[in-house]
Amino acid sequence: MRRLDASDSRFAEAFDALVNDRREADADVSSVVTQTLRSVRDRGDVTLVEMTQRFDGFDLNSEGWQISAAQCKAAFDGLVPDLRDALKLAATRIRSYHKAQLPKDRDYRDKDGVRLGARWSAVDAAGVYVPGGRAAYPSSVLMNAIPAKVAGVERLVMVTPTPGGEVNHTVMAAAHLAGVDEIWRVGGAQAVAALAYGTDRIRPVDVITGPGNAWVAEAKRQLYGVVGIDMVAGPSEIVVVADTKNKPEWIAADLLSQAEHDPTSQSILFTDNAAFADKVSIAVDAQLSGLATGAVAGQSWTDNGAIVVVKELEDAMPLVNRLAAEHLELAVDDDRAEALFAMVRHAGSVFLGRMTPEAIGDYVAGPNHVLPTGRRARFSSGLSVLDFMKRTSFIALDNQAFSAIGPAAATLADAEGLPAHAASVRTRL
């Protein structure tokens, strides 16, 4: 874990190194993914069967390609009441928040009498990738599938690996709550390719969202343009800005909440008190010793974690903006949180006040937890209903409106050396 102090003479150099760290997987997966995509495109279901047997030890043809709606309903009904109620609360809040995101159509006439506007519509079909194994998260099913359905997607397809034939029943229950229409038991880059290109069994979709490993992320990157994607996501990250009024144990737990995702995750604390920084560091070590995910979280904290001591918390905000983190906690009094929030330009999602840990946003707050990582919050946003929709503009002119703006269009066409463009206007004039 790195310890930086803004008063040190070499702080700028050390912080530059922190900002520019590359935490994505070291393996060069690009060529492997390219081969996989080509194989699925050319051989379709045959490749899916072969790769599922190879990586998941599961025979699609003998054990089944799909998980049915009835199985998902049974999984939901079979949950213990507390878990079922928690999933229902999360789904309700996520659905409500995303309904409020729905854009409005526009239709108006401007001063020249030209009718202008735009109409929003959903894509026909969307695919959601859901990891299997250790990273099988029902919350991600809700966060990806519910916005698609709120947007109006009619056919929502989920792909998820089932290693050894094992199905995650909580994931199935979440799929039932979210209204997923099809579930296919395939994973990896080959599943993303199947959604993009289509196979004899799996019809193609228009947009693919959802988290995955380096191979899944690279498949989405390579297939962008064949289909739409949400983003190319990297390791999770959290930045916490905290003062001495916090309990060190709270802040330590917040830092570890992202560190436990993966050894390449990153957790960074900014504070204005060196003694408080020491207390948080001690609390992190203490909690790691009793954490079931301690091995992963410990490696993440050791390799990528950092504590930065600044003179005033306000001094931290330009540094926070440079990091453009996926998650940003402002663990201070509410009024000060608002003041610091006003200084935030780049962050995936911001958590205001001492009683708003990032983990609340992962599950039940309502806003989406699919967020840009790797400093991509500088230019992109979290998943929303807009990722499953597109805007179609429209224009309508009558004689008067055409006479008002048509001559300028013809003049511009002449200037660009496009006589047919000019003629299509002038014949009407």
What is the per-residue pLDDT across 387-425, written as a single tens digit (0 to 9) for each?
A: 999 999 999 999 999 999 999 999 999 999 999 999 999
pLDDT higher than threshold 80 for residue 134? no
* Average pLDDT over every residue of 23-32: 74
What pLDDT, on a 0 to 100 scale, did the predictor assign at position 232?
87
Q: Which of 182, 218, 326, 358 is catalytic?
A: 326
Q: Which of 261, 327, 329, 369 is catalytic?
A: 327
103: pLDDT confidence band, cut at 50, 70 and 90? very high
In 100-247, alpha helices (H): 138-151, 169-178, 188-197, 214-223
pLDDT higher than threshold 80 for residue 22? no
| Of 13-27, 90-104, 346-360, minimum mean pLDDT range | 13-27
Q: Yes or no: say if 313 and 241 are a contact pair by the CB < 8 Å rule.
A: yes
- Nearest CA-CA partner of 301 in 237, 372, 376, 369: 237
Dihedral sign, Cα of residue 166, residue 167, residue 168, residue 170: negative
> What is the per-residue pLDDT across 267-325, written as a single tens digit (0 to 9) for each?
999 999 999 999 999 999 999 999 999 999 999 999 999 999 999 999 999 999 999 99
Instruction: For the chain, give the mean pLDDT.
Output: 96
Domains 2-24+234-365 and 30-103+123-229 share a fold: yes
- Percent of the chain having pLDDT more than 70? 98
Known catalytic residue: 327? yes
- Rounded to 5°, the CA angle 70-74-75 comes to 115
| CATH class of the domain defined by 30-103+123-229 | alpha beta
| Of 83-87, 132-136, 182-186, minimum mean pLDDT range | 132-136
* Average pLDDT over every residue of 172-179: 98
**Could you count the other beta carbons within 10 Å of the beta carbon of residue 104?**
6
> Does the structural domain 2-24+234-365 have CATH classification 3.40.50.1980?
yes
Known catalytic residue: 166? no
What pLDDT, on a 0 to 100 scale, did the predictor assign at position 28?
80
Stated pTM of the model: 0.94
The domain locations on the chain are: 2-24+234-365, 30-103+123-229, 398-426
Q: CA-CA-CA-CA torsion for 91, 93, 94, 97, nearest 10 degrees?
A: 150
- Nearest CA-CA partner of 268 in 336, 333, 324, 348: 324
